[in-house]
Amino acid sequence: MPRRERWSIIIAVLEAIEEQWASHGEGARVTNVATTANMSYDRLMEYLEELERTGFVTAGRMPQLTDKGREFLRAARQWRDVLGRFGLD
């Protein structure tokens, strides 16, 4: 399995948090986010700390996307779609 790019891991974490909220209507449990994003708990915690510092997620055991995080995720999805249209995905 090829190594994932940093940006794709960040997107996977944000999407996992969003998915947990959509399916459960409450905070995303860190262990569920780790499983959904396909990464270890320790590695996820490193990314969550960074995402909190950048203002993309809230802190705590049940992180939430902030408005800034939702906007980044929307833009990242658009960029991923553009790449896909040109066969660069």
Which pLDDT belongs to residue 1? 61
Q: What tokens does 11 get?
A: 């997107």
pTM of the model: 0.90
Give the pLDDT band of residue 61 (cuts 50, 70, 90): confident
Position 24 in a domain? yes
Write down the H helix ranges in 1-89.
6-24, 30-36, 41-53, 67-85
16-38 residue pLDDT tens: 999 998 888 777 889 999 999 99
Q: What tokens does 71 get?
A: 């906007």
Position 1 in a domain? no
Cα–Cα distance, 85 to 22 (Å, whole number) = 27
Instruction: Please tell me the total count of domains within the chain.
Output: 1
Q: Indicate which CATH number applies to the domain containing 30.
A: 1.10.10.10
Which residue range forms the structural domain that includes residue 39? 6-85
User: In 3D, which of 63, 57, 56, 54 has the Cα closest to residue 28?
Assistant: 63
